[in-house]
Structure formats: C-alpha cells, structure tokens
C-alpha cells in the first residue's frame, strides 16, 4: 500500500477495493491516546454469535469473529457486560464483578478473548456497571440481612415516611418509584433502574475502594479500558433528590483515576445522559484526570416527545440535528474529546432512525456512516450497523424481552394509552430493536445460532446479512472499512478543524474539515428527495471542488448541483 501521503489518502481507499484493508496493528501505541485514531465496535454479547447452540451469543462466538472485526479495521471492542448476572437487565445487573456468566463462557474464555484480540491489534473495553449491582450480588444479600450488616452501607437505605410510603418521589428510569421496601429490615432501598438493580452508595469510601480494586484486577488481566455505565449518577445527593451530575461526581472520578487509571494506557468512556459541552470538557480534558471521553445523548433526546418520551419519537429535524453536532464539534475543538455514534444497545438502529430502512437502506446507511465518521472524535459502531441492520419490526408485545419496554408497556397501558400506540412507539424506539441477533448469513438462524434465538431474528435476514453485504463492493461494510481506515491514516480526519456549512439547509448535512491547508468537505443529502444547495444562505461557500475520497472522481459542486437521495460526497482539496 506504500506510504501514507495525502496522495494515498485520496487514492488508496478507492483503489484498495475489497482486498486486505488492514495490515498493521495500531492499538496500544506507546504515544498514548491511541483511541484518537481508533474506531470502536460495540458487541452486545447475547446477540452477536452463539457458538454452542443455546440461542445466546457467547465469548467463544466473539472470538470466532475477531477476523471479521480485524477486517473491518476497528481498534477496540466495547463489550457489553459478560459478568455473572441473573440477566434481569441483560447483564447490566451484575452479581459478581470478577466472574463470567456461564451463558457467555468462563474466565478462561475471557482471557483468551483479550489475548487473541490483542494479537490482532484490538483492545477489549469492559462495561463497568458500578452505579448499581444485582440484588443477587453477595454485597446486597449481606446488606439486606440486617441493619448492622457490614455491607449495609454499600447501598442506599431510608426509612419509610410515617404513612409507610417511599422516602421521596424519586422515579426509576424503568418506571415507577425508585424505592422498594425491604420487608425484613423495614427500610426502603434505592434503585434508579429495576428493583433488582439496587444502587450502590458511593459516599461510602469502602465501597469505592472495592470498585477500584476490581477495576485494577481487570486492567491487570489486560483489558484496554472501561465504558462506564450511567457514571453521571454516582455522585448523587438523594436527600435533595439530585441523581445526575451530583456534587461528588467529579471528585469521585478524579479519585478513581488516581487509584486505577493513572499511568495506564487505557481508554475510558462514560455514559452521561444530559451532559452539556461544559460537563464533557470537565470529564475529558487532559488536565481533569478523569475520563478519555463521554457519551452524551443530545441528538437522541432532542427528538423524544415531551409527554411520552422515547415511546413517541418525533421526526428528525435536520436543522436542529446539525446544530447539535455543530455545537459539540465546536465546543470540544481544543479541549476534551467527543465520542461519535448513531446507535447502541439502548437505541434504535441508525438506518431506521436517521435514514431509510426500505428502498434506500444501503445508500442511507453509507451516508450516515460517512457524515458521522468524518467528524472529529472517536466513532462507535454498534454491531450490525456496519451491514445496515434495521429495527426489529415486532408487532406484538410478546415478542419483546427488554425489561424497560415491558415495564413501560404496563405503565402506559394502565394510564390509558392504546396497545397500538404503545406498540408503534416500541417499534420505533424499544431497546430490543438493536438487540435482535446479528445477521451473519441467509441460512436458518442467520448464522447466529443453530438453536432457538433468545430474541427473534429480524425477518429480513435473508436479504440483510454480513455475507451478502460484504460481497457487494458498494455495500455498507465496505464504506465502514474505508472510513475506519481514513481515520487511522489521516491527520485531517483526526485533528482537523470543523465548520458546519449551510446550517439552515433543511435537507443537506454539510461541513468542512481543515488542517494545514488541506480541506475535506462533506456534503450529504439527508433525505429521500433529490436536493440542491440552492441560493446562498449563511455559511454559503460559492463553489466547492475536490476529489471524492471514495470514488477518486473530481467534482465541482455549485448551487445548481443536484444531490440524489442520500448521496454523500467527501471532497478533498487541493
């Protein structure tokens, strides 16, 4: 492939075609911050690859697909939880942080995954779920034995109000009160998620030290870092009913950094719903000594209904969507670091939410990938996104397994919402949309399992699958491969400045990156209709020319140029 000059930037991606796009391992570069040139891939273990026919994906299954992931070019895997768990919330309810759920394999399998991934230049990032445990964790079992238990203070307990009702009005994210009465000891415990997920008491230093020791144990086993589940909740002040972004959040994160992360070449990403750019800088600026980056969800929550929330999504307003990305790109230009994503295991499929999962499925999936991956930050690909997988399309509540969906179904039905309305919301936004099994091929079981899958396989697997998509030089996988490679090879993609173009254009998503005199202009039709740049508006650039980094063709774009549905150009000049 020769050296990585700007010329090869232009030519090689198109020329490389399908052949081997990924030779050299780049992760764990001694210079640190290797994650700034890496792309992440999220594996949701239950739904990725089932090696033993029990209908549930597992660690040996993931190991068997490392070649596929290496071919895609990723730098690290965010592995959703594989710890011991009763699986009330699919592993986000952990009963032992230092053991593996037998459904997924053994600790030896985990060590093998870490080692084999590492030999391919891929880091394994564990999901760190320490806002809460499972109610089957030995800490909680001991804590509920008596008010004097040595572990009582690992959790958050309050007396009932005089009338016997919960201590305050805090609500669970999965619906209903966040308090459950423990009959045996006569106090309520806090759970911001399911009642089987009691919240840990971070104000207890012994608990914090236990968490840090556990993190060190995993880091010593060779994991490349942590994705920190709802980490913005750990500094909570319950008596003031403050849960997110509480007063002790950042002090705890600095303490954690000092105790476990400092001096290690790892990556950390905190899940922080509701974070502002200011918060993000606080978390991710180098001098903060907290995290590498966070996930924030402004572009997701902007399009939820005021009353029914995610269960009644609003249509995407492109001007508003662009304004959000622009705000984050600009705010974190010089300090802090962005993560970039369309989807994850809690969100609908990218192509169903932001693109067209019908006629223009492939084109819109390629457009979405291009728009996202050419911004500044670390992109996260959610399993199946790289082949344009779509929402589940379930028609009956019985098809769902997700605890959140089932809880809200009960609550909203009880509040008078019709079955049809709720199901329409769930079809758009239930977490199970992202959790249907990975579609590897067109054979029965979609190449995911030889058994009965734990959650229904999307009916379109004979058409939408990795084998078929990868055989198509214009497929979705190929575009992800190209984009991931560009990030590794191009300082312009990694570090260049960002400027939103045509902010008020209702159909085009356009921006420009610039570094050392080189410019990359991305122009994307975000709609199913043909569109033009049209008349000058704020941010207008008279005409744009350059060579498309994918096709290698030279383009001159003027106000009159037409963009066909979901067309995207990425023009490099000079």
Catalytically annotated residues: 229, 271
Select 230 or 256, whichever has its Cβ closest to ligand GLC.
Answer: 230
CB of 230 vs ligand GLC, minimal distance in Å: 5
Select 172 or 439, whichever has its Cβ closest to ligand GLC.
Answer: 172
Tokens of 425: 């919301």
Select 151 or 193, whichever has its Cβ closest to ligand GLC.
Answer: 193
Interaction of residue 89 with ligand GLC, rule CB under 6 A: yes
CB of 173 vs ligand GLC, minimal distance in Å: 7
Contact with ligand GLC (CB under 6 A): which of 69, 84, 230, 372?
Answer: 230
Contact with ligand GLC (CB under 6 A): which of 13, 129, 190, 372?
Answer: 129
Select 353 or 470, whichever has its Cβ closest to ligand GLC.
Answer: 353
Site map for ligand GLC, 253-272, x if CB under 6 A? ------------------x-
Angle at 115 between CA 218 and CA 126, to 5 degrees: 35
CB of 131 vs ligand GLC, minimal distance in Å: 7
Other Cβ atoms closer than 10 A to 79: 25
Select 38 or 230, whichever has its Cβ closest to ligand GLC.
Answer: 230
Other Cβ atoms closer than 10 A to 19: 7
Question: How many amino acids of this chain bind ligand GLC (CB under 6 A)?
Answer: 9
Interaction of residue 346 with ligand GLC, rule CB under 6 A: yes
Reading across the β-sheet that carries 157-158, which strands appear in turn? 157-158, 187-190, 179-182
CB of 295 vs ligand GLC, minimal distance in Å: 9
Select 228 or 571, whichever has its Cβ closest to ligand GLC.
Answer: 228
HEC readout, 141-187:
HHHCCCCCCCCHHHECEECCCCCCCCCCCCECCCCCECEEEECCCCE
The whole-angstrom separation of Cα 359 and Cα 564 is: 13
171 within 8 A of 230, measured Cβ to Cβ: no
382 within 8 A of 344, measured Cβ to Cβ: yes
CB of 195 vs ligand GLC, minimal distance in Å: 13
The whole-angstrom separation of Cα 392 and Cα 383 is: 14
Q: Where in 486-505 is the site for ligand GLC (CB under 6 A)?
A: none
Q: Which of 459, 403, 399 is nearest to 431 (CA)?
A: 403
Contact with ligand GLC (CB under 6 A): which of 92, 140, 189, 477?
Answer: 92
Angle at 118 between CA 115 and CA 120, to 5 degrees: 120
500 within 8 A of 525, measured Cβ to Cβ: no
Q: Which of 111, 183, 398, 288 is nearest to 270 (CA)?
A: 288
Contact with ligand GLC (CB under 6 A): which of 58, 199, 229, 279?
Answer: 229
The whole-angstrom separation of Cα 92 and Cα 80 is: 8
Site map for ligand GLC, 275-314, x if CB under 6 A? ----------------------------------------
Select 59 or 230, whichever has its Cβ closest to ligand GLC.
Answer: 230
The whole-angstrom separation of Cα 342 and Cα 352 is: 11
CB of 91 vs ligand GLC, minimal distance in Å: 9
Interaction of residue 193 with ligand GLC, rule CB under 6 A: yes
CB of 129 vs ligand GLC, minimal distance in Å: 5
Strands 267-271 and 225-228, by their bridges, are: parallel
Interaction of residue 189 with ligand GLC, rule CB under 6 A: no
Residue nearest to ligand GLC (CB): 92
Question: For binding to ligand GLC (CB under 6 A), which residues are involved?
Answer: 89, 92, 129, 193, 229-230, 271, 345-346
């Amino acid at each position: 492939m020769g050296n990585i000059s700007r010329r090869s930037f232009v030519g090689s991606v198109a020329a490389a075609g399908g052949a081997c796009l990924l030779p050299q391992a780049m992760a764990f570069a001694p210079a640190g911050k290797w994650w700034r040139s890496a792309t992440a891939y999220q594996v949701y273990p239950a739904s990725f690859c089932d090696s033993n026919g029990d209908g549930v994906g597992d660690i040996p299954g993931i190991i068997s697909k490392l070649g596929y992931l290496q071919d895609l070019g990723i730098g690290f895997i965010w592995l959703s939880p594989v710890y011991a768990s009763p699986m009330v919330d699919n592993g986000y309810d952990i009963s032992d942080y230092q053991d593996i759920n037998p459904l997924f394999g053994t600790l030896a399998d985990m060590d093998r995954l870490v080692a084999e991934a590492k030999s391919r230049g891929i880091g394994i990032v564990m999901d760190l779920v320490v806002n809460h445990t499972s109610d089957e964790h030995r800490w909680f079992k001991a804590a509920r034995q008596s008010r004097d238990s040595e572990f009582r203070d690992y959790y958050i307990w309050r007396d009932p109000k005089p009338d016997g009702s919960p201590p305050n009005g805090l609500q669970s994210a999965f619906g209903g009160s966040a308090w459950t009465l423990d009959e045996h000891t006569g106090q309520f415990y806090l759970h911001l998620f399911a009642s089987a997920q009691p919240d840990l008491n971070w104000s207890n230093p012994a608990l914090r030290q236990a968490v840090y020791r556990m993190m060190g144990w995993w880091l010593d086993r060779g994991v490349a870092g942590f994705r920190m589940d709802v980490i913005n909740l750990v500094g909570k002040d319950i008596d003031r009913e403050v849960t997110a972004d509480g007063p002790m959040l950042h002090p705890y994160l600095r303490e954690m950094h000092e105790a476990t992360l400092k001096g290690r070449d790892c990556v950390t990403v905190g899940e922080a719903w509701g974070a502002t750019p200011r918060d993000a800088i606080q978390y991710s600026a180098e001098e903060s000594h907290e995290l590498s980056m966070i996930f924030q969800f402004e572009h997701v929550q902007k399009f939820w209904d005021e009353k029914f929330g995610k269960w009644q999504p609003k249509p995407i307003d492109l001007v508003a969507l662009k304004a959000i990305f622009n705000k984050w790109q600009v705010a974190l230009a010089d300090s802090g670091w962005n993560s970039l994503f369309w989807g994850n295991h809690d969100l609908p499929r990218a192509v169903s939410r932001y693109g067209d999962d019908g006629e223009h499925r492939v084109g819109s999936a390629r457009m979405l990938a291009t728009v996202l991956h050419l911004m500044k930050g670390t992109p996260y690909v959610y399993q199946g996104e790289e082949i344009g997988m779509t929402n589940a399309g379930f028609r009956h509540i019985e098809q769902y397994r997700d605890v959140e969906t089932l809880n809200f179904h009960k609550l909203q039905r009880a509040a008078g919402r019709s079955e049809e309305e709720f199901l329409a919301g769930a079809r758009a936004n239930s977490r199970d949309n992202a959790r249907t099994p990975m579609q590897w091929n067109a054979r029965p079981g979609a190449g995911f399992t030889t058994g009965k899958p734990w959650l229904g396989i999307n009916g379109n697997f004979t058409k939408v699958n990795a084998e078929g998509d990868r055989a198509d030089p214009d497929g979705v996988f190929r575009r992800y491969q190209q984009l991931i490679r560009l990030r590794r090879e191009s300082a312009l993609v990694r570090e260049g400045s960002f400027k939103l173009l045509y902010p008020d254009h209702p159909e085009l998503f356009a921006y420009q990156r610039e570094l050392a005199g080189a410019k990359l202009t991305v122009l994307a039709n975000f709609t199913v209709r043909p569109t033009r740049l049209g008349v000058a508006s704020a941010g207008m650039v008279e005409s744009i020319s350059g060579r498309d980094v994918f096709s290698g063709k030279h383009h001159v774009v003027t106000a009159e140029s037409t963009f066909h549905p979901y067309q995207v150009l990425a023009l490099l000049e000079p």
